Amino acid sequence: MYLTKLSLTNFRNYRAVELPLARGLTILTGPNGAGKSNVLEAIHCLATGRSYRARSEAELRSIAPDPARPYTRVAGDVTAGEHATTLEVIWAAEQDQDAAFSKRIRIGGAPRRASSLLQHLHVVLFTPHDIALVDGPPSSRRRYLDYLLSRIDPSYLRTLQGYEHVMAERNALLRALREGATRDLRQLEAWNHELTSLGATLIGFRSAYAAHVAAPLAAYYAALAGTSGDGTADSAESGASNAARHQGGTEPLPRNATSPTRDTKPPLQDAATSTQHEHSRPSHEEPVSRNAESPTRQAPPPLRTTEAGPPRAGLPAQGPELRLRYEATVPLPPTPPPLDELRVSALSQAWLADIQTAFAAALAEQAPRERAQAVTVVGPHRDDLTFLRGSHSLAAYGSRGEQRLAALTLKLTEIALLQAVSGEWPVILLDDFLSELDAQRRQHVLASLVPNVQAFATTSDLQQFSPDVVANAQVMRVGNDMITPA
């Protein structure tokens, strides 16, 4: 999966730009404030329908737009396998410069929903702010995970949207009950059934994801930390080989391999072991928490943790490895064995029924509190994901370096998972990320990229890259609102 062309019209500091793009690494270099990150932001908009930087979409509009074209547009030609299509995101002010933007999505020239973009262009974004996935609020982890799982299986996104709708209706009914506008509890029972059914699927799929990626997550961390699987000091090269062994002999991101076809065995297919996991919501949707967070300072219900099943045969246990623990507000039944295929339809129906029963019991237990606060206080919208080394939380006890490596590990696992599920490597966006790493780990990350993977990196210092990397990359200079080949 890769972009062959990127077109920008009145986007940020670019009035009109047409960029031919190639596979491999593209380095965007220039002084701070020149607009390097704006290019990556535009690509991200094509993949998700929204910016990862702007507080308001009005910020995307050029401050000096071309008056002949009173709109902001990002378009890109995408090739995936034998299929090619054009993606467009267009923003236009309704009346004047201060009016709110209306947004239109086109795929192959036809109008589509923003969520449709998720299946046409996969991107994995690395930024210095990724550390918030480890030490930030639970909402950041929920957003990340929901966005990832929505790309893996579109039915997950539909379930998530249904859950948010039902919770909003249920919260409105709770407010009406508190204010005495209605006394009909039968309607609340109906919403409870819908909420627990949809919520059980969200919890179940997130748990399945965590079990699916446990082994490669630990192996990537060992490789980046320069330790072998038994916790002894070792080189990054040895760690990468160890990661390959833990995935059944397939290196997570082979450095000398062509992009596998859809018939290739997914590298993560056999990579599942014990873990917990978290849930969240996609970056292209408004967060669940806006309808879910309690307006009071009262402490939330305690989180329950459950351990997933034992490692599969052939996956050796590791020393102080990186682990994920799913902490739920609903008491969860034991997690079944990991899935061979990460799909919602592959989840055990009996297990989902047990989760739904536990969810319903938790709602009944919290009923007085919910009636008083008029908000849903338990469910997947309140769960969290904890990163652990040994028995210690990285958020509480890890160094900044350990936290940053854990976030990087999560993103590298995301790349391999998306390839395993879709058969196509995602586009990699490195937004000033490499500057946060030391030289050894920076070279390790770059060397991990498959030659055919398309990646974009921003930097104000080209010397961050080795001469060999620069020689094999497409280098573009950014400055004076222009992008030119170096």
Please tell me the pTM assigned to this model.
Answer: 0.78
Per-residue model confidence (pLDDT) at position 363: 96
Is the domain of 138 the same as that of 103? no
> Which range among 183-187, 208-212, 293-297, 445-449 shows the weakest confidence by mean pLDDT?
293-297
Residue owning tokens 């390790």: 444
* pLDDT > 90 fraction of the chain, expressed in percent and rounded: 46
Contact 323, 393 (CB under 8 A): no
pLDDT band at 299 (very low <50, low <70, confident <90, very high): very low
DSSP output for 231-289: S-B--HHHHHHHHHHHTTT--SS-TT-PPP-TTSPPTTTT---S--------TTS--TH
Strand partners, 476: 28, 485
Are 85 and 160 contained in the same domain?
no
Residues 369, 241: one domain? yes
Crossing angle of helices 439-448 and 185-225, in 10° steps, is: 110
Residue 413 lies in a domain: no
State the pLDDT at residue 451.
72
Position 442 scores a pLDDT of 81
What is the pLDDT at residue 253?
A: 41
Write out the two tokens for 167.
């919770």
Q: 229-288: per-residue pLDDT in tens?
A: 333 333 333 333 333 333 333 333 433 333 333 333 333 322 222 333 333 333 333 333
pLDDT for 390 equals: 83
Per-residue confidence (pLDDT) for residue 96, from 0 to 100:
55
Adjacent-strand bridge partners of 458: 28
Q: Among residues 402, 437, 471, which one ends one of the domains? A: 402
Query: What CATH number should be reported for the domain holding residue 11?
Result: 3.40.50.300
Helices (H), 27-114: 36-48
The residue range of the domain holding 232 is 131-402
Laid out side by side, the sheet with 110-112 consists of: 14-20, 2-11, 72-80, 83-93, 101-107, 110-112
Among 339, 369, 402, identify where a domain stops: 402
**Cβ 358 vs Cβ 330: under 8 Å:** yes
Using DSSP, state whether 310 is helix, strand or coil. Answer: coil
The average pLDDT across 313-336 equals: 70
- Whether residues 94 and 227 share a domain: the answer is no
The whole-number pLDDT of residue 95 equals: 58
> Across the chain, which distance is largest between two alpha carbons, in Å?
72
The answer to whether residue 347 sits within a structural domain is yes
In a domain, 416, yes or no: no
Q: Which residues of 336-354 are buried (b: 16+ CB within 10 A; e: fewer)?
A: bebbeebebeebeeebbeb
In degrees, rounded to 5, the angle at the alpha carbon of residue 379 between the alpha carbons of residues 327 and 354 is 85
Q: Give the tens place of pLDDT for each residue, 437-448.
A: 888 888 778 877
Residue 317 lies in a domain: yes
Lowest model confidence (mean pLDDT) among 60-64, 454-458, 476-480: 60-64
Would you state the structure tokens that stand for residue 304, as one six-digit string?
A: 């329950």
Indicate whether 183 and 315 sit together in one domain.
yes
- What does the pLDDT look like over 397-425, one tens digit per residue? 988 888 999 999 999 999 989 998 888 99
Q: Does residue 417 lie in a domain region?
A: no
Question: Using 50, 70 and 90 to split pLDDT, how confident is the model at 140?
Answer: very high
Task: Please tell me whether residues 139 and 247 are part of one structural domain.
Answer: yes
* Whole-number pLDDT of residue 294: 33
* 149 neighbors 209 (Cβ within 8 angstroms): yes
pLDDT of residue 370: 94
Tokens of 422: 């879709």
* pLDDT mean over 106-118: 91
Please state whether 157 falls in left (phi above 0), alpha (psi between -120 and 50) or beta.
alpha
- Please tell me the least confidently modeled range out of 205-209, 303-307, 327-331: 303-307
The C-alpha atoms of residue 310 and residue 407 are separated, in whole angstroms, by 24
CA distance 87 to 78: 7
At 173 the pLDDT is 95
Residue 102 CA: distances (Å) to CA of 57, 71, 73, 113: 9, 10, 12, 13
Does 96 lie in the same domain as 41?
yes
Residue 275's pLDDT is 31
3-state DSSP assignment of residue 152 = helix
Counted domains in the chain: 2
Q: What is the pLDDT of residue 355?
A: 95
Q: How many angstroms separate the Cα of 267 from the Cα of each of 41, 173, 209, 216, 323?
A: 29, 47, 15, 9, 19
For residue 449, the model assigns a pLDDT of: 75
Task: Provide the CA 448 distance to its chain's centre, in angstroms.
Answer: 20
**Least confident interval from 249-253, 373-377, 468-472:** 249-253
357: tokens are 């029963």
Please give the torsion angle defined by the CA atoms of residues 122, 127, 129 and 133, in that order, rounded to the nearest 10 degrees. 40
One domain for residues 139 and 65? no
Whole-number pLDDT of residue 94: 64
pLDDT tens-place string over residues 73-85: 999 999 988 899 9
The three-class DSSP label of residue 19 is strand
39 and 98 fall within a common domain: yes
CA-nearest of 69, 417, 420, 403 to 214 is: 417
Residues written for the chain: 486
Q: Are residues 323 and 175 in the same domain?
A: yes
Looking at every residue in the chain, the average pLDDT score rounds to 79
Pairing of strands 14-20, 2-11: antiparallel
- The structure tokens 């709770």 sit at 174
Cα(124)–Cα(143) distance, integer angstroms:
14
In whole angstroms, give the CA distance from residue 140 to residue 147. Answer: 11
| CATH number of the domain encompassing residue 185 | 1.20.1050.90
Pick the last residue of a domain from 370, 402, 434.
402
Structure token pair of residue 306? 């459950």
**In this structure, are 242 and 381 located in the same domain?**
yes
Q: Is 91 part of a structural domain of the chain?
A: yes
- Residue 231 in any domain: the answer is yes
pLDDT at 159 over 80: yes
Q: Which two tokens stand for residue 139?
A: 């909402």
Q: Which of 378, 377, 373 is nearest to 358 (CA)?
A: 378
Residue 61 confidence (pLDDT)? 85
| Least confident interval from 116-120, 315-319, 326-330 | 315-319
Cα dist from 466 to 26, 309, 442, 469, 470, whole Å: 14, 43, 10, 5, 6
Q: Which residues contact 346 (CB under 8 A, 6 or more apart)?
A: 208, 339, 340
Rg (CA), the chain: 23
Pairing type for strands 101-107 and 83-93 reads antiparallel
Judge whether residue 170 has pLDDT over 50: yes
Report the Cα–Cα distance between both ends of the chain, in Å, rounded.
Answer: 25
Q: Does one domain contain both 220 and 98?
A: no
The type of residue at 301 is P
Helices (H), 348-461: 349-365, 367-373, 394-397, 400-422, 439-448
> Could you tell me which of 142, 193, 209 has the C-alpha nearest to residue 346?
209
